[in-house]
């Protein structure tokens, strides 16, 4: 039924443009709502400017994500072209695309923070700079409901694609849902990028809150503890350990996907060995049916069990680091060490998430581009499904899936956990 409805839709290839038009409508209402809020509650138009910076940042990150993950732009096309020479070149090009996205992400967050902090200072309110970044964060989050609705577009089209394939609805229906699925990959990637940029804006506020909390506990007054000296050896080590936490967390999350995928493959092979006709039933009285429940059970159990260690790492990591540096000899400032953990862990986490989310989306859409018949060889022949280039693109997509669907989105949780844990547990790190 979903497949038949998809056939009847017009201009499926313009789905992303339709979503963008809706997004700009949401942006327009957000600007109006922000202006009304500032007029009636804050009465300070510098803060309206700070909020507008947040809204602009959300627009920019949406189009940056589209550039890196849509097949009509160069990055995805480069990955598809690299597939002609095999999986290795596909993976190399995909990694290059993913890593290059960190430049735009860092630039957007940096400029948004600088401009909103300056506007907050110009507003002359108490704590103006930090308050300006807070208003910018809220400005960016004003379009959150619409961005979340765009995120749901991806799983819906993905499932519709699977239903059409299983139902054998035909190549024309499959072509339409493939294109919608490609749009869904982009909307999923831009939602993750949107979340990480908003987390980057909020991270500065949480970092300031941590320093104020430490200052209040040590001196009974906020604002006195406001320097993190990276030249101190313990602070440098704390920053080093923070970067390690991000990489180790990502490694464990990706490893969990790999181990579970291996178990699923072994289960599928077992079922085919026991019943070679499992997908070709001949006896209607005794049909050969796959044991779907067993496969679902494996993934569900693994999803709960394999993520225990990655889940504990950002919770226990900063606590252990802070307590160790507080009690080992040497007179180290444990609170400053944990501040470095929070600051560097947030920065590295945001950039790593940008690489994984956008790189994974680009790999996926490079495969979709080939399946849609958009890749041709030097003779003008279409390189579609079941070709060598398509096989290479499938390998790249398989590499990108745990990045964009597991480790990348999970880093958003890691960043927030680092901030929350350090803020709540900061009395443990302070020698009064």
Of 325 and 218, the structure prediction assigns the larger pLDDT to: 325
Kindly list the distances between the CA atom of residue 424 and the CA atoms of 122, 172, 311, 325, 419, in Å, as whole numbers in the listed order: 31, 56, 17, 18, 9
pLDDT at residue 10 greater than cutoff 60: no
- Reported as a pLDDT band with limits 50, 70 and 90, residue 250 is very high
Who wins on pLDDT, 215 or 172?
Answer: 215
> How deeply is 282 buried, as exposed, middle or buried, from its count of CB atoms within 10 A (0-12, 13-18, 19+)?
exposed
- Rounded CA-CA distance 200/412 in Å is 10
The yes-or-no verdict on residue 281 having pLDDT over 90 is no
pLDDT at residue 144 above 80? yes
Task: Report the predicted TM-score, pTM, of the whole model to 2 decimal places.
Answer: 0.86
Let me know: does 90 contact 396? Beta carbons within 8 Å.
yes
Provide the pLDDT for residue 123.
85
Output the six-digit token pair for 17: 């443009």
Average the pLDDT over each of 53-57, 204-208, 351-355 and give the range with the smallest value.
204-208
DSSP string, 1-66: -HHHHHHH-S-GGGHHHHHHHHHHHHHHHHHHHHHHHIIIII--HHHHHHHHHHHHHHHHHHHHHH
Which residue did the predictor score with more confidence, 55 or 286?
A: 55
d(CA 281, CA 236): 64
pLDDT of residue 255: 92
| Alpha carbons 370 and 387: distance in angstroms, whole number | 9
pLDDT tens, position by position, 53-111 = 999 998 898 889 889 988 888 999 999 999 999 999 999 999 999 999 999 999 999 99
pLDDT of the residue at 31: 92
Amino acid 432: pLDDT: 59
Q: For the chain, which residues make up each domain, given as ranges? A: 2-429
155 vs 354, higher pLDDT: 354
């Amino acid at each position: 039924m979903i497949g038949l409805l998809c056939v009847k839709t017009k201009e499926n290839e313009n789905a992303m443009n339709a979503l963008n038009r809706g997004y700009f409508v949401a942006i327009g209402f957000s600007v109006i709502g922000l202006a009304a809020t500032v007029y009636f509650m804050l009465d300070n138009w510098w803060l309206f400017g700070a909020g507008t910076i947040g809204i602009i940042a959300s627009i920019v990150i949406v189009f940056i994500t589209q550039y890196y993950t849509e097949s009509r732009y160069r990055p995805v096309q480069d990955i598809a072209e690299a597939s002609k020479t095999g999986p290795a070149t596909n993976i190399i090009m995909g990694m290059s695309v993913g890593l290059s996205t960190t430049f735009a992400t860092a630039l957007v967050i940096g400029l948004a923070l600088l401009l909103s902090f300056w506007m907050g200072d110009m507003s002359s309110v108490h704590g103006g700079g930090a308050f300006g970044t807070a208003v910018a964060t809220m400005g960016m989050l004003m379009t959150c409901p619409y961005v979340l609705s765009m995120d749901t577009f991806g799983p819906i089209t993905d499932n519709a694609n699977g239903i059409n394939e299983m139902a054998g609805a035909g190549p024309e229906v499959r072509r339409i849902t493939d294109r919608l699925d490609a749009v869904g990959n982009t909307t999923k990637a831009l939602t993750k990028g949107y979340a990480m940029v908003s987390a980057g804006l909020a991270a500065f506020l949480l970092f300031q809150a941590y320093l104020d909390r430490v200052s209040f506990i040590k001196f009974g007054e906020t604002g006195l503890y406001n320097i993190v000296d990276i030249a101190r050896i313990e602070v440098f080590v704390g920053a080093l350990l923070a970067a390690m936490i991000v990489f180790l967390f990502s490694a464990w999350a990706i490893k969990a996907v790999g181990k579970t995928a291996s178990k699923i493959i072994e289960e599928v092979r077992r079922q085919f060995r026991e019943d070679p006709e499992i997908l070709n039933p001949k006896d209607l009285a005794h049909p050969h049916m796959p044991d779907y429940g067993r496969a679902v059970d494996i993934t569900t159990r693994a999803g709960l069990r394999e993520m225990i260690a990655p889940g504990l790492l950002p919770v226990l990591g900063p606590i252990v680091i802070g307590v160790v540096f507080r009690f080992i000899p040497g007179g180290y400032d444990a609170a400053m060490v944990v501040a470095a953990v929070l600051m560097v862990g947030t920065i590295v986490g945001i950039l790593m998430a940008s690489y994984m989310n956008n790189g994974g989306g680009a790999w996926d859409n490079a495969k979709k581009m080939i399946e849609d018949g958009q890749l041709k060889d030097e003779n003008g022949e279409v390189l579609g499904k079941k070709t060598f280039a398509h096989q290479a693109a499938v390998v790249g997509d398989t590499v990108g899936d745990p990045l964009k669907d597991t480790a990348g989105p999970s880093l958003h949780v890691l960043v927030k956990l680092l901030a929350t844990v350090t803020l709540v547990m900061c009395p443990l790190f302070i020698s009064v």
